[in-house]
Chains A and B, each alone.
Chain A
Amino acid sequence: MQQFHQTFFEESFEGLDIMENELLNLDVGNADSEVINTIFRSAHSIKGGSGTFGFTAVAEFTHVAETLLDEMRDGVRQVTQESVDILLKSVDVMRDMLTALKDGGDMDAENIATVQKQLEELLGTEGTSNTSAPESGSNNENSGVDGWLISFRPHIEMLRTGNDPVRMMYALTELGDIETKADLSALPAFADLNPEDSFLGWEITLKGDVNKDDITEVFDWVEDECDLEITPLSSSSAQEIESTPTDAPATTDTPTPAASPTKQAGSKKSTESASIRVGIDKVDEIINLVGELVITQSMLGQIGGEIGNDEGHNSSRMEKLLEGLAQLERNTREIQESVMRIRMLPISFVFSRVPRLVHDLSGKLDKKVELVTTGENTELDKTVMEKIGDPMVHLVRNALDHGIEPPEARKQEGKPETGTLTLNAYHKGGSIVIEISDDGAGINKERVLNKARANGLVGENETLTDDAINDLIFHPGLSTAESLSDVSGRGVGMDVVRKNIKSLGGSVRVDSVEGKGTIFTIQLPLTLAILDGQLVRVGSETFIIPLVSIIESIQVKSDNLNGIAGKADLYKLREEYIPVIRAQHVFGMEDDNASLNDRLMVVVEGDGHKAGIIVDDLLAQQQVVIKSLETNYERVDGLSGATILGDGTVALILDIAGVIEMFKTLSAPVPPSPVDPDGKDSDIAEEAA
């Protein structure tokens, strides 16, 4: 059972997302029954799933919400803003409950009870009675029953929906002792047997004092896909026969029960999206293998080319071989591209979190906000996506809280009462750009500057450009919200946003015009698995410098070289002095060329520090697949990973910020001046930098 939990949770969370989205789409007063149906189905799946897995608290709660939805679906109840709000709250509660179950945390019982009470009040019912539950399941004539005779005959196609009779049997054994008798009469000859069809039927005798509801619950998922009769065994209670409405001809099941991969919770949804769920590790494995394939292919191509050169192209067999190799090359490239695309998901996965946020926050803040999203189908890597969600939500909160003004204020400014929040995403080069813009008040530069001055971040007489002032909001400890709210404004946010985005190898900038609005622009690499790199040669080794860190590559002119304390070198690059790092030095390799004149220097920037790295040669620029050194070894300073080059050898990828850091600590102890033994010599390093 445990193994299905993960799937259940994933699917339930997806179901909750669907419910949330559809609830937000719901047109109050004139609801589309199809939308209500979708919401209902999601709730029903969650209820069924949680019942199956014994999460009774979730099942009970969901049941109440489902009842409300059911009434809406049947048109008995009008869709009101109130009920939608309560249903949205229920979605939150369900999500919290499931999260608690998943992570083994505690549920907020009080909150659950409150929302459940609200739901019940709305329903006008007391307790969790099943007044209008979809499955008429309130048969409580269980007492005094010795057991049940269950006649279970799956329809021929039941297995195809992913339902496994063996699972149901197991579920029954949890209720009491069972005896089963299989009915093989419908089993065709072996030659005609389709393993995906079910041909069997069972007579199950369930002994024990069991509630009939519990039994029907076991078959909840297949009620439309089987003939089911449940008869009490004892003579004491009234004979009751309940059979599902559908009647199909011969019913049975294949004799290979355990083999069928079951996902009960998924059966209803599988028809709605044409996708499969695959573990990310499996995809990564394929990516690895394809990487190998590419290497093998290039090796073969090389050998083929050599043979062709030696023997000439005159033999027709040779020609065919070369043709085949060219074909192989095209195919492998295509495979590689497609495989990389598997990891890519449209950014709508992140954007879809925003409508709810806007709905809730605008209500809380008494603001009118319209949300416009464009470019939802822009794709990016799943890993990047997972990490960009929180920073983005934070920026949206900020835009709503600080950016867009209350309706009255907007009116006074001559703007429409409803503010607009725009999310936009598009590809630009090898990156994805996400813009979050609002037409609100913009950043109050004076206030930011005053605050920065008060905090000593900016000197009294210092003047800053507008951009520089705007950039101050990313500084830790600056929050300009006039009052602290639970929405945002604790001054620990924007710096974290920037830090998180930087850790993904991206950047964030802000443009703002007072009174007009603010635009946050996030730029991110499309994937963390691939990197655009500049291959450089240092000594006999090849290293890779990430292209994003490189500003330019120049040839060193000795005129621009300056020494400091006869030790560290500085290079005058236009108006700046940047430290010169000898790659050989940092990596403990021997440098056979002491002079720096005429050598190649790659000017890089890492963590806000610029430096020039001396290399021996600039090789190709190419995309490389990043592989971790930590998997089998450990983190190494100055390296962010490794990759496998076309010839199968390993090349190391430089972590520029790390290299600069290493250079500092390396050059720090060198100066002859006596240094405080406790000090980390960082002051001196700073000077050198």
Chain B
Amino acid sequence: MTTPATELNAVINSEVDPDADQFLTFILGEEEYGVDILRVQEIKGWDSVTPIPNTPEYIKGVINLRGTIVPIVDLRQRFSMPEVEYGPVTVVIVLKIECADRDRIMGIVVDGVSDVYDVPEEEMKDAPDFGNVVDTEFVRGLATVDEKMIIILDIDHLLSGKEMKATDTLSA
């Protein structure tokens, strides 16, 4: 089994090249979002959670992930999108969130996972400012793959404890 040198190089380069990050994309309604694949810990099917009282709606609760208590965020609710029934393809993407003080593990509920893409840094475009219509603070950038727009999320910003609280008061 031989691998052509060019292909091998491409692989090596893609690993070395910091501009071509890989993103796992998932679906929310009609939209496709991406998260840095290095942050994805695992993908699991939706299972029942233990709700935590007096937390924002989008915190669905906590699950037991091999002995660790992991909070689950419904991304639709987080973005104030219409709720849907959880179905067989509803998945939880477990992500590592890097906060200032420590790393956390959190899960997000999405409609379904889609694909993995390479997106070079230079192909990522800034999200336009929508003013108050859409909060673009959590958008790291926009990328185009196969004519589709993919919204690359800044999950640290989106899911850090401080931001979760701040938006809670915003939406109120």
Contact A629 B54 (CB under 8 A): no
| A649 part of interface (Cβ distance < 8 Å) | yes
Contact B68 A636 (CB under 8 A): no
Q: How far does the alpha carbon of A662 sit from the alpha carbon of B69 in the complex, in Å?
A: 24
Q: How far does the alpha carbon of A632 sit from the alpha carbon of B64 in the complex, in Å?
A: 12
Which candidate, A8-16, A138-146, A184-192, A288-296, is the interface stretch facing chain B? A288-296
Q: Mark B67-78, 1 if CB is under 8 A from A, else 0.
A: 111110000000
Q: Mark B43-57, 1 if CB is under 8 A from A, else 0.
A: 000001111111100
Contact B62 A629 (CB under 8 A): yes
Q: Which residue of A lies closest to B105 (CB)?
A: A632
Residues of A in contact (CB 8 Å), total 28
Contact A632 B54 (CB under 8 A): no
Contact A632 B50 (CB under 8 A): no
Contact A636 B50 (CB under 8 A): no
Q: Mark B1-28, 1 if CB is under 8 A from A, else 0.
A: 0000000000000000000000000000
Q: Mark B92-109, 1 if CB is under 8 A from A, else 0.
A: 000000000000111000
Chain B nearest CB, measured from A646 CB (Å): 11
Within 8 A of B (CB), among A637-680: 637-639, 642, 644, 648-652, 662
Which of B59, B63, B64, B71 has the most CB atoms of chain A within a 10 A radius of its CB? B64
Cβ contacts under 8 Å, B70 to chain A: 632
| B66 part of interface (Cβ distance < 8 Å) | yes
Contact B69 A638 (CB under 8 A): no
Q: Which residue of B lies closest to A643 (CB)?
A: B69
| A628 part of interface (Cβ distance < 8 Å) | yes
**Contact partner, B69, options A541, A587, A650, Cβ 8 Å:** A650
Contact B53 A587 (CB under 8 A): yes
| A575 part of interface (Cβ distance < 8 Å) | no
Contact A644 B54 (CB under 8 A): no
CB-CB under 8 A for A633 and B104, given A289-B67, A644-B64, A649-B64: yes
Cβ contacts under 8 Å, A649 to chain B: 48, 50, 64
Contact A637 B69 (CB under 8 A): no
Contact A629 B69 (CB under 8 A): yes
Contact B52 A628 (CB under 8 A): no
Contact A588 B53 (CB under 8 A): yes
Contact A632 B104 (CB under 8 A): yes
Q: How far does the alpha carbon of A627 sit from the alpha carbon of B54 in the complex, in Å?
A: 19
Q: How far does the alpha carbon of A4 sit from the alpha carbon of B67 in the complex, in Å?
A: 31
Cβ contacts under 8 Å, A652 to chain B: 50, 52-53
CB-CB under 8 A for A628 and B69, given A649-B48, A650-B62: yes
CB-CB under 8 A for A636 and B69, given A541-B50, A649-B50: no
| B161 part of interface (Cβ distance < 8 Å) | yes
Cβ contacts under 8 Å, B50 to chain A: 541, 642, 649-652
Within 8 A of B (CB), among A269-320: 288-289, 291-292
CB-CB under 8 A for A633 and B71, given A292-B66, A644-B64, A650-B64: yes
| A631 part of interface (Cβ distance < 8 Å) | yes
Cβ contacts under 8 Å, A446 to chain B: none
**Contact partner, A642, options B48, B54, B59, B69, Cβ 8 Å:** B69
Contact B62 A642 (CB under 8 A): yes
| A589 part of interface (Cβ distance < 8 Å) | yes
Cβ contacts under 8 Å, B69 to chain A: 627-629, 631-633, 642, 644, 650
Q: How far does the alpha carbon of A638 sit from the alpha carbon of B67 in the complex, in Å?
A: 22
Cβ contacts under 8 Å, A633 to chain B: 52, 59, 62, 69, 71, 104, 106, 161
12 contacts between A and B (CB under 8 A): A292-B67, A588-B54, A627-B69, A631-B68, A631-B104, A632-B71, A632-B104, A634-B161, A636-B55, A638-B53, A650-B62, A662-B54
Give residues in B with beta carbon < 8 Å to A: 48-55, 59, 61-64, 66-71, 104-106, 161
The 10 lowest CB-CB distance pairs between A and B, nearest first, are A587-B53, A288-B67, A650-B50, A633-B71, A632-B104, A634-B161, A644-B64, A632-B105, A292-B67, A642-B69
Known pairs A541-B51, A589-B53, A644-B64 / 7 extra A-B pairs, C-beta < 8 Å? A633-B62, A636-B52, A639-B52, A642-B62, A644-B67, A648-B64, A652-B50
